[in-house]
Amino acid sequence: MRWTVHSEEPLYTDPWLDVRTADVEITGGRRLEHRLIRSAPGAGAVVMDERDRVLLEWRHRFIPDVWGYEIPIGGVEPGESPRDAAAREVLEETGWRPGPLRPLLHVHPTPGISDSEHHIFFTDAAEHVGDPLEDWEAERIEWVPLADVPRLVGEHRMPSGTTVAALMYLYGTGRPE
């Protein structure tokens, strides 16, 4: 049942993404033309405090035109480790410098169309150093009780699949050692 890729051809490429068409062989020797998106990896972090609250951004996503809570996450720069990228993103987007980051989760949020991968880390320490460096990322920054996450997901107030995966994983497994 493994699909075989015979070729890929670029349709559109820029520094953010690479849209391609692939000649793919599926079961029974049948072939189809499949569209796919190649992109650089992303990294983010779940930051939790001593009261079991998580640091979240309330933001608008213009593509689906929705508001919701998200963990800080962004692209991994060339030559940067995912851990360093996650720390940078937390500081830039929230104004909080995270403590030591430990791996929490690795996800491919849209594997049917994209090779996008997200490296998610966890810390239970952070220091507030000022306002977010990027004022366009979020409407506000909040500490939200982890216990509220299932309700927020059910109310469609967490539209990011990566955020849902990370927070529900943490909710189900508890604070990592």
pLDDT, tens digit, 9 for 90 and up, residues 55-86? 999 999 999 999 999 999 999 999 999 999 99
For position 75, what pLDDT does the model report? 96
The answer on pLDDT for 162 being more than 80 is yes
The answer on pLDDT for 16 being more than 90 is no
In the numeric block, the tokens 């830039």 are attached to: 92
Model confidence at 97, in pLDDT bands (50, 70, 90)? Answer: very high
The answer on pLDDT for 134 being more than 80 is no
Q: Which two tokens stand for residue 35?
A: 């569209």
Compute the mean pLDDT over every residue in the chain, rounded to the nearest whole number: 95
For position 153, what pLDDT does the model report? 97
pTM, entire model: 0.93
CB atoms within 10 A of CB 92: 14
Contacts of residue 162, Cβ cutoff 8 Å, sequence gap at least 6: 42, 44, 71, 73, 107, 109, 118, 120
For position 36, what pLDDT does the model report? 96
Model confidence at 98, in pLDDT bands (50, 70, 90)? Answer: very high
For position 177, what pLDDT does the model report? 76
Which conformational region is residue 15 in: left (phi greater than 0), alpha (psi within -120 to 50 degrees), or beta? alpha
In the numeric block, the tokens 């220091």 are attached to: 127
For position 158, what pLDDT does the model report? 97
For position 114, what pLDDT does the model report? 96
